[in-house]
Structure formats: C-alpha cells, structure tokens
Structure 1
Amino acid sequence: MFGNKKTNNTPLVKSPERFDTLIGRQTEIHGTLRVMQSVRIDGKLVGNIEAPKDQAITVVVGQEGEIQGDVIASRVIVAGKVSGNIDAHERVEMLASALVQGDVKYGSIAVEHGARLLGLLLQVDANGPQEPQNQAKDAIRKAQSAGVSE
C-alpha cells in the first residue's frame, strides 16, 4: 500500500538518458548555449540555454551548477541555482537544494521539500502559446475564483 512504487510521473526518477555535454565545476561560460542534445551544468553559465522545441532535450543543473539566464528545453532538472526564467515544454523537477529566481513554465512539475522558488509557476496551456503576461493574469484570476464558493 505505501511501498516505493515509482511511475513515469514520480519525481526524480533516474532515466537512461545520455549526457554527452558536461560543463564542469571549474568552468564558467559567458554567452548563449544552443544545445542539440542533453546537457548537464555543474559549473557556471552566464547566458541562456536554448533547445529546439521539437526535440526531447534535458537540461540538468547540478548541485554546484549555476545559470544566470533563461533555460528553454523539453525537460529541466534543477539541483543548483537558476537566476532566470525556465520554459520546460514537458517537465520541470526541482530538488531540495534548488534555488530558482524567475518564472517557471511547465507541462508537469515535481518539487522536493526544501526547493526554493522566487517567481511564478505557470502551467503550459495545451491550446497553444500565450503571452507570459496573459498567462500570469489568467493564473491569478483562476486562483482567485477557486477561493470563491458559488
């Protein structure tokens, strides 16, 4: 009944994904990183990470990793620090050691106890793209109406 059953939606499931690109702890990069395969950041990146929307690419920010910029990818897993917005078309995972200072757009999300977020959580609408300001207004309106009983 209360076993350790894991599903595909269970947070922080180990995946067989390969990371051919690794930014090491002693490395600092300045500029935009356009990736065509999954990447793990254990160092520091000052700039954005951009992955094509039509490819299942994962960006992992390790516990020592830091990104000062926006992250756009299918899946984003954060154990370190992101100072910028995250746009994950598929899934976002925030581990207990994560600090995200920016808005997070996601298809699905998993957050461990202790993760910190200074920004908005915005679920991606399946009906198509929407302006971030309109998404925020819609999310606030929906939250306010949920508290009103009819």
Structure 2
Amino acid sequence: MLIKGNKEGSQKFDTLIGPNCHLEGRLSCNGIVRIDGNVQGNIETNGDIIIGEKAYINGNLSGSNIHISGKVEGDIICTGLLKMTSTSSLYGNIKVKNFVADEGSIFEGKCSVQGDTSAVTSNEAVEQDQ
C-alpha cells in the first residue's frame, strides 16, 4: 500500500496512476484508486476513487466514494459520496447515494440520487440512459 502526504494528513491508496502515466483499457481492482494521469477506459473498484486536479478520465467510473478534482468524461455510479471540487469538470450521467459539488465545479449530465445503488452495475446505468 502506498502512502502520500497531503494537507489533510496521510492518505493511503492501493493503486496509483501517476501524473506522467497514460493508461488505455479497463482498470478493475479492489481498494482505493488514485488517478493523477490520463486514463482512456473504465475504472471499477469496490473502494474509493480519487481523481487528481490534473487528471483526465475518458471512461465510466464505479466505486464507493469518488472525489473528483480533475476532468471526467463518462458516466459514474457511486454507492457512497460523489464530491466535486472547485477545479473539477464532469461530463456524463451520475447515479449516486450522496452528491456534493463545490462552487466553481462543472457538471453536465443527468443526476440520479438513490437510496441504494449497490444493485446497479455500470452497464445497467449506461443502458438505462440510452
């Protein structure tokens, strides 16, 4: 497990895509995922997803809590909290349990806030919105 310091203290994550990394394809893993680079493809985890300020994602995201500071183009399924910071932009549909968007964040898409998203898969979300 990697540990990276930040202003909130130490943050632990299991998978890191660094700022100089470009990934094409599907990323499926357990635990916390942090993306600071570019990803062309879907990201699925049973843990949290953290999208850094300079990160760019072109694909769907599925995770527990998702924290976005960068740019995401794709649909999101979040079984916990989806948080968008003031530097974030999201272009896609979301199915979430809780949603917080800071002033200055950009969101274009449909938003569905649900009590229990655990039974919904990423394929179902995309098919239902088409």
TM-score by length of 2: 0.81
Residue 92 of structure 2: aligned partner: 102
Alignment of 1:1-150 (within 5 A): 14=8, 18-52=12-46, 57-126=47-116, 129=119, 132=125
User: Matched residues, percent identical?
Assistant: 28
Deviation string 1:65-111 (CA, Å, 9 cap, x unpaired) is: 11100000011100001000011011100000110000111111111
Could you tell me which runs of 5 or more consecutive residues in structure 1 were left unpaired when the two chains were aligned: 1-13, 137-150
TM-score by length of 1: 0.71
Give the number of aligned pairs: 118
Is the CA contact 2:76–2:93 (under 8 Å) kept in the aligned structure 1? yes
Q: Identify if the C-alpha distance between structure 1 residues 105 and 127 changes in structure 2 by more than 3 Å, giving closer, same or farther.
A: closer
RMSD over equivalenced CA pairs, Å: 2.3
Q: Identify if the C-alpha distance between structure 1 residues 125 and 132 changes in structure 2 by more than 3 Å, giving closer, same or farther.
A: farther
Structure of larger gyration radius: 1
Could you tell me which runs of 5 or more consecutive residues in structure 2 were left unpaired when the two chains were aligned: 1-7
